[in-house]
Amino acid sequence: MCKRKVILVQQRHKKSESSGKAADHIKVVVRVRPFLEHEDPSQSSVAVPQPDRGALPSTLKEDVYQQVRECVEAAISGTNVSIFAYGQTNAGKTYTMMGPPSYSYSSRAIHQKTVEEDFAEKNLPLRGVIPRFLTELLASTRRDDMDVKIEASFLQVYNERVLDLLAETGGKQQQQKALELRSGDRGVGEIQVVGNVKKSISSLSDVFDILQQGVKQRKVCETSHNEQSSRSHTILQLMLTVTSRGGGDLEQTSSSLSSRTSKISLVDLAGSERWSQSADRKEAVTKTHREEMSNINRSLTTLGRVVKLLSEGKHVGLPFRESKLTRLLQAGRL
């Protein structure tokens, strides 16, 4: 199976510690968010070594999306695709992936109208990568020469527990049972999530419903950096099956049909955070917050190791099993 992934590395105005050039099948797009009102521009600088594409704070979301839109056709052609936003806490990852917090990932109840507005023409400049990708995917697969099936699951990894964002919890999310991961039977590295909800997507209305339900259940909390800080990694996974019809005859034979499948992972990672940052701001680090920080940083470290090894052309002995996040992304080799 072919693989392609795009890493949207979100940067605050701080020095990047990453280095090295990504392999051809890994594309890195760096976006720097503007300064916030309380931040002092004179105390920060930007240093990014050799990304595939850089984006200044003034860069529009449309320009950022243009760097990853090639993944739509790649997925339709049968290529596994992963797009994920990586960066420090409060770097703007969720804003880039979903859009403004007023109608994206929020702990507040989200009404259907607000999600629909995210896709509305008047708000096109504000849409994030995920709604743009899904809109274009649906438009690109409405063709007479192919039959398309899209099945979606929406997961979060919270404290190394895989939880279903589409499961009906009855308001008792804390009691939700963690999902089990098993090795699949489709090939090496294939991982199956046992017992999660899968929903078919055939229209933007289906997309609205999935995003609306998922964003309400994501783990967030207030930190010194962010009023709505993501405390979990969210993964919107799509299984895309495309059956191409050849010849144009009314009666198709099995030999004239060509079917291909691909997995699409759209990932909004929780932000990395240093212990010293909380201490410097005199933030009361609770036991829960401490556990969240530890698990987030550990999983991001594992993710970084895997990406580094893949970029060096290594495909054996990768530490996928050291984190639930990397295990979920293993089938597409991230």
The annotation status of 91 as a binding-site residue, yes or no, is yes
Q: Residue 317: which H helix or E strand, with range?
A: none
Q: Within the chain, what is the greatest distance between any pair of CA atoms?
A: 71
Distance CA 189, CA 327 (A): 8
DSSP string spanning 185-210? SSSTT-EEEET---EEE-SHHHHHHH
Q: In 3D, which of 146, 144, 102 has the Cα closest to residue 126?
A: 102
The annotation status of 139 as a binding-site residue, yes or no, is no
The annotation status of 90 as a binding-site residue, yes or no, is yes
Q: Answer left, alpha or beta for residue 43, where phi above 0 means left and psi between -120 and 50 means alpha.
A: alpha
Say if residues 142 and 185 touch (Cβ distance below 8 Å).
no
Say if residues 191 and 327 touch (Cβ distance below 8 Å).
yes
Distance CA 264, CA 27 (A): 16
Distance CA 53, CA 87 (A): 16
Q: Residue 145: which H helix or E strand, with range?
A: none
The annotation status of 214 as a binding-site residue, yes or no, is no
The annotation status of 94 as a binding-site residue, yes or no, is yes
Residue 282 CA to chain centroid, in angstroms?
Answer: 31
The annotation status of 87 as a binding-site residue, yes or no, is yes
If you count DSSP H runs as helices and E runs as strands, how many of each does the chain have, helices first?
9, 13
The annotation status of 15 as a binding-site residue, yes or no, is no
Binding site per annotation, positions for ATP: 87-94
Binding site per annotation, positions: 87-94
